[in-house]
Amino acid sequence: MSNEMMQKNQFSEILRTIKNAREKVYKQVNASLIQLYWDIGKYVSQKVEKENWGKSVVQELSEYIKRNEPGIKGFTARNIWRMKQFYDTYKDDAKLSSLRAEISWTHNRRIMSIKNPEERTFYLKLCAKEHYSVRELERLINTGTYERTILAQKNMSEAVKQLPKSTDAIFKDTYILDFLDLPIPHKEKDLQTALVSSLKDFILELGKNFTFIGEQYRVQVGNQDFYVDLLFFHRELQSLVAFELKTEKFKPEFMGQLEFYLEALDRDVKLPTENPSIGVLLCRDKDNEVVEYALSRSISPTLIADYETKLIPKELLLKKLNEFYNLLENRNDD
């Protein structure tokens, strides 16, 4: 190795050390700030409960802080009430209250604005785990990631649920591809090209643990070549994930092709240390009853999802989610 190359490696190591230290300092400062807001929220909450503190008292508190410490920002009456809400939201759940310190105050404020406790918990855990930016979190919420993730459970084979690692919160019932400028109608090649061209946005929609391997990934069986539309690797699941793209409504015969690809990947591409490959049929539309029939006897880890090129109204997602819960209740009753 040349002296210049050795020097570059040494410089890179120092830069890495600086970045790691800066990240560590940021986490410590953020944790201290969140703890401060938690303590203030707790204090105000108890005063409201025991001494009937109201808006006027909190306003006086805010003005007192500003008057005595003019350099301190962020303690308006409105923010102090948010701190109280922060404490009240998580005080009864020790596990969630520990996660709150792992994300910023801005993240916490946005998640606290969600009324559904299950949805709020979903995004809190997701942000703590994946370190999404505030902008990314906003997109996740606006695109109904919570609802789409829950709904995915009804469109996956039993083999997916029996994988060595849980696929909870990883796959979605519908993928929102609003970042693509696709003509209507469009061909499968158009869809594939557009997704690869917008890979950063597509991986954000899929989830941060997806690593792109290639498009039209070749697998050879016998003397024939076959091509997987898009191949990814999921680091947490330790599985290859094959996406087969269809610009038409789901048909049961699509399953045979995808399951064939999964068999080829497991036999010839998957490493011995990796888990079974997973297949995702991404279709323009699907009939959930047809999907259920198609998946009922599938022994391969497969998921059938559809895609939209525009945002789905939140009301529609909630309606579909309620229908799904009602279906589960009816099954349990039976």
Q: What pLDDT was estimated at residue 97?
A: 77
Average pLDDT of span 163-184: 91
What are the CB-based long-range contacts (under 8 Å, 24+) for 265-268? 265/219, 265/228, 265/231, 265/240, 268/219, 268/220
Instruction: Give tens-digit pLDDT for 270-285.
Output: 999 999 999 999 999 9
Indicate the length of the chain as a whole number.
334
Tell me the two tokens of residue 95: 């596990």
pTM of the predicted model, to two decimals?
Answer: 0.83
Q: What is the pLDDT of residue 93?
A: 84
Nearest to 211 by CA among 241, 193, 234: 234
The answer to whether residue 217 scores a pLDDT higher than 80 is yes
Angle, helix 77-90 to helix 55-68, in steps of 10 degrees: 120
- Beta-bridge partner residues of 242: 231, 279
Residue 99 corresponds to which tokens in the numbers above? Answer: 């996660």
pLDDT in tens, 85-109: 999 999 988 778 778 888 999 999 9
Q: What is the pLDDT of residue 327?
A: 65
Phi, psi of 226 (to 5 degrees): -130, 155
Strand partners of residue 283:
246, 306
pLDDT at position 267 over 70: yes
Range name among 9-13, 45-49, 254-258 with the lowest pLDDT average: 9-13
Range among 21-30, 56-65, 318-327 rated most confident = 56-65
Mean pLDDT within 157-173: 93
Residue 244: what pLDDT? 97
Query: Quick check: 1 pLDDT over 80?
Result: no
- 1 or 88, higher pLDDT: 88
- CB burial of 65-97 (b: ≥16 within 10 Å; e: otherwise) equals beeeeeeeeebebebbbbbbbbbbbbeeeeebe
Structure tokens at 179: 């970042």
pLDDT at 14: 84
